[in-house]
Chain A
C-alpha cells in the first residue's frame, strides 16, 4: 500500500528542546488519523511540519511518493495541497468571512470572485453559514469562526486536511457544530489528520489513533484496540486521565 502522506524519522527541535524525536507515520488516502496525547507531546508541531510551516531538522516526508521535505524546496505548492486549521481560527480580522475564504484562491489559484462565488456559497451553505458570509470575524461566534476557517482551507481544494485541536478554544456547546463539519468531511472521503482532545470523537470516526508522548508515537492502532486495550503503561495512564 502506498500512503498518501508518509513520515519517516521526522525530527524537530526548537532551540534546545526536542519536540519530535523521530516520528514514523503513514496516512492512507481517505483515512482519518487522530493524534492524541498530553499538551506539549508534539502533536501541533507534527501537524505544522506536515504542511511545511515548520521546516523539519531530520527525516523525510512524502506526499504521493514525492519527497516534500527536501531543504530548499518551494513550500507553497505543497501547502496548496495540504490545508491546516488552527486552534485559534486565525481568521483575517479585517476581512469579511467570504473575503477570508476567497483571498487565497484568488491570489494563489488565480480565480476571480465570480469563478469562486458558486463553490464558496455552496460551502458556506453546507456548513450552515449561508447567512453569515458578509460578516466580519468578530461578529461571529467561536464555532462559526472555526467553520469559516475550515471553509477557507477547503476553498483551496486540498487533498489532505490537518486540524490542530480545532475545538479546544470553543465553549462546550459550540464543539458539536464544528465536529459535525468534520463528520461531513469524513463522509466525503477527505484525508484528514487531527490533533484532538475529543476522545469520543476519535473513537467514533478515526481509522487510526496515534498516542504521542514526549515527541514519539508511543502506540498506534485502530481506536477500538487502542482505547480498549492499550499496550503501553503511559497510554493507559493518559487514557485513564482523559476518559
Chain B
C-alpha cells in the first residue's frame, strides 16, 4: 500500500480540534457580534419609540405613509417610471459614445488636431462645472424658444441633449483616467513592435482602459438614472412629475414615497453590483 506523506500528517485532527488561535478568534467574533446586535436593536427601538412621540407624527404618517393612497397610485407611478427607463435607455449609449469621443479628443497629441484637444478641454470644463438642472433649463427652454416647428420643439430631444452633454463630460473624464492608468510599458511594447499611435490606442490601451473604468462608469449611469427625473421640470411626465400630479389629486405626499421606493428598487442592486465590480478589480490589482 502506498503511503503518501500527505496522509501521514494529522489533517483531520487539525480540522476537528481548533487551535488556541482559532478559539481566541471565535471568542472575539462572538463578542463583536453580540455588541453589534445590542447596539442595533437599541437604536431601532429608540427610533420606534421616540419618533411617534414627536408632536407632528400623526400628521406626517397620514401625509406620507398612507396605505390607501399608496395602493391607488403605485401602479400609475410604475407606468410613469417606464418613461424614465426609456429616456435613460436612449441617453446612455449616446453618452457612452460622446464620452469616449471627448476623452480621445483630449488625448490627441498631433499639432493639427490641437483644436480638437482644446475643444475637449473646454467641453469637460464647462459641463462638469454646471449643475445638471441648470443645463436642462437653459437648453430645454432656450432652444425650443427659437420657435422651432414640431417635432423639433420636443422637450424629449432637448432634455436628452442636456443630459448627454453633462454626463458625457463626466464619462470622458473617467475614461481619460482609465487611459492614464495603463502603464507606459504597454505603450513601449506596442511602439517597439512598430505599431503607430492610433493602433496602439485602439488595440492596446483603450481595451484595457475601458475595462478598468467599468465600475466607475456604472456609478455615473446610476446617477444618470436618478437625474432623468430632472427632465420633469421641462415637461415630460415621468415618475417624479406623476407623483406630483397624484399629490395634488389626493392632497397627500405618499406618492412621493412611492416614487422614492421605485428608484431604490432599481438603484440599490445596481450600486451593489458596481461596488462588487470595484472590489473585484481592487483585489485583482493587489
A residues with a Cβ closer than 8 A to B are 48, 51, 53, 75-77, 79-80, 83-84, 86, 88, 90-94, 103-104, 107-108, 152-153, 156
Q: Are A108 and B186 in contact (CB under 8 A)?
A: no
Q: 10 extra interchain contacts, Cβ-Cβ under 8 A, other than A88-B185, A152-B193?
A: A53-B192, A79-B191, A86-B189, A90-B188, A91-B189, A94-B207, A94-B208, A108-B194, A108-B195, A108-B199
A108 CA / B199 CA spacing, docked (Å): 9
- B203 close to chain A: CB less than 8 A: yes
**Chain B neighbourhood of A79, CB < 8 A:** 191-194
Judge if B196 is at the interface, Cβ distance under 8 Å: yes
Instruction: Known A92-B204, A94-B207, A94-B208; judge A107-B199 contact (CB<8 A).
Output: yes
State the majority secondary structure of interface residues on B.
helix
Inter-chain contact B207/A104, CB cutoff 8 Å = no
* Given A94-B208, A156-B194; A103-B188 close (CB under 8 Å): no
Near A by CB (< 8 A), chain B positions 173-232 give: 185-186, 188-196, 199, 203-204, 207-208, 211
- Bound Cα distance A161, B203 (Å): 24
Least distance between B111 CB and chain A CB atoms (Å): 14
Other-chain contact of B192, A77, A84, A93, A103 (Cβ < 8 Å): A84
Residues of A within 8 A of B191 (CB): 53, 75, 79
Closest 6 CB pairs of A and B: A104-B193, A90-B189, A80-B194, A108-B194, A79-B194, A84-B192
Determine whether the beta carbon of A92 is less than 8 Å from that of B195: no
In whole angstroms, what is the CA distance A154 to B207 when docked?
Answer: 24
Task: Name 25 interchain pairs, CB-CB below 8 A, sorted by A.
Answer: A48-B188, A53-B188, A53-B191, A76-B195, A76-B196, A79-B193, A79-B194, A80-B194, A83-B193, A84-B192, A90-B185, A90-B188, A90-B189, A92-B189, A92-B190, A92-B203, A92-B204, A104-B190, A107-B199, A108-B195, A152-B193, A153-B192, A153-B193, A156-B193, A156-B194
The CA of A51 and the CA of B188, in the complex, are separated in Å by: 11
What's the least CB distance linking A138 to chain B, in Å?
9
* Cα–Cα, bound, A91→B186 (Å): 8
Give the nearest-CB partner of B189 in chain A.
A90
Complex Cα gap A103–B189 (Å): 12
Does the CB pair A51–B195 fall under 8 Å? no
Contact B199 A90 (CB under 8 A): no
Query: Which B residues are CB-close (under 8 A) to A80?
Result: 194
Q: Which of A93, A103, A152 contacts B203 (CB 8 A)?
A: A103
CB-nearest residue of chain B to A155: B193
Residues in chain A near residue B193, CB distance under 8 A: 79, 83, 103-104, 108, 152-153, 156
The residue in A79, A86, A107 that gathers the most chain B C-beta atoms within 10 A of its C-beta is A107
Chain B: minimal CB distance from A223 (Å): 27
Q: Give the CA-CA distance A86 to B204 in the complex, in Å.
A: 17
Chain A residue numbers with a CB within 8 Å of B192 are 51, 53, 79, 83-84, 153
**Residues on A with beta carbons closer than 8 Å to the beta carbon of B194:** 76-77, 79-80, 104, 108, 156
- A residues less than 8 Å from B190 (CB atoms): 92, 104
Chain A contacts for B185, CB-based, 8 A: 86, 88, 90
In the assembly, what is the distance between CA of A26 and CA of B179, in Å? 39
Residues of B within 8 Å of A103, CB to CB, are: 193, 195, 203-204
Q: How far is the CA of A76 from the CA of B195 in the complex (A)?
A: 7
CB-based nearest B residue for A79: B194
Task: Give Cα A139–Cα B222 distance, bound, in whole angstroms.
Answer: 34
Q: Which residues of chain B are within 8 angstroms of A53 by Cβ–Cβ distance?
A: 188, 191-192
Question: In the complex, what residue of chain B is closest to A85 when comparing beta carbons?
Answer: B192
User: Please, how many angstroms separate the alpha-carbon atoms of A94 and B212 in the complex?
Assistant: 11
Residues of chain A within 8 A (CB-CB) of B204 are 92, 103
- Tell whether, in the assembled complex, residue A93 and residue B196 are in contact, meaning their CB atoms are under 8 Å apart: no
Shortest C-beta distance, A211 to chain B (Å), equals 26
- In the docked arrangement, what's the CA distance between A156 and B189, Å? 13
Using CB atoms, name the residue of chain A closest to B211.
Answer: A94
- In angstroms, Cα B188 to Cα A104, docked, is 13
Q: How near does chain B come to A146, taking the closest CB pair, in angstroms?
A: 13
Shortest B275–chain A CB gap in Å is 23
The digit string for B239-265, where 1 denotes a CB below 8 A from any CB of A, is: 000000000000000000000000000
State in angstroms the CA–CA spacing of A40 and B75 once bound together.
71
Mark B34-54 against chain A: 1 for CB-CB distance below 8 A, else 0. 000000000000000000000
